[in-house]
Amino acid sequence: MSFHSLTATTIDGRPFKFEQLRGHKVIIVNTASECGYTPQYAQLQELYDTYKDKGLVVIGFPSNDFGGQEPGTEAEIAAFCSTNYGVTFPMMAKVHTKGDEQHAVYQWLTSKAQNGVLDSEVKWNFHKYLVDGNGHLVMSLGSAIGPLDKEIIEWVEQ
C-alpha cells in the first residue's frame, strides 16, 4: 500500500483521500488538547501558514491513546483548536495511533513492511512524521522536537 492510496475521515466527517497530497510535503502529527505539548498547535499553525503556499500540508490526527489527554468529541476538538490556536490545517477524526485498533495511516507510518523505510512507535502526543511529495516517509520525530525545529524547517525548505 502506498501513502497516496491511504484515506482518513476529516474531523467534520468527510472522506479525505491522501491522493490529493501527491506533490506536497506532509507532516502528520497525533494531537491532544490536554497535553503538555498542546501549545505545539500554535507552532504547527505558524509552520503551515508560512509554507502552505509552497506545498506543505500539516495534518493533525487527534488521539486519546496517551494519558487520556484527548477525551473530547470531534466537535469539541475542532472548537478547541479553532478557538485557542486558530488551526486551519486539516484535522482528521480521532484515531488510535497504536494497538489493535491502530488506524491504517498509522499502520503505514510505523511499519517498515508498509512504508519501506523504518519501523517506529508513536510514544506520546505530538509525534511527527514527515513524508515527501512522492509519498516516501522521510523521518519520524518525537514529541520534544518542536514544529519550528531547525531539522523540520530545513526539510521543508529543501
Supply the pLDDT for residue 1.
83
81 is catalytic: no
Q: How confident is the model at residue 79 (pLDDT cuts 50, 70, 90)?
A: very high
The model carries a pTM of 0.97
Say how many C-beta atoms besides its own lie within 10 A of residue 21's C-beta.
Answer: 21
Segment 88-102 mean pLDDT: 98
pLDDT digits (tens, 9 = 90+) for 30-61: 999 999 999 999 999 999 999 999 999 999 99
Catalytic position from the list 11, 35, 77, 78? 35
> 3-150: CATH homologous superfamily?
Glutaredoxin (3.40.30.10)
C-alpha cell at position 65: 491513546
Read off the amino acid at residue 63: S
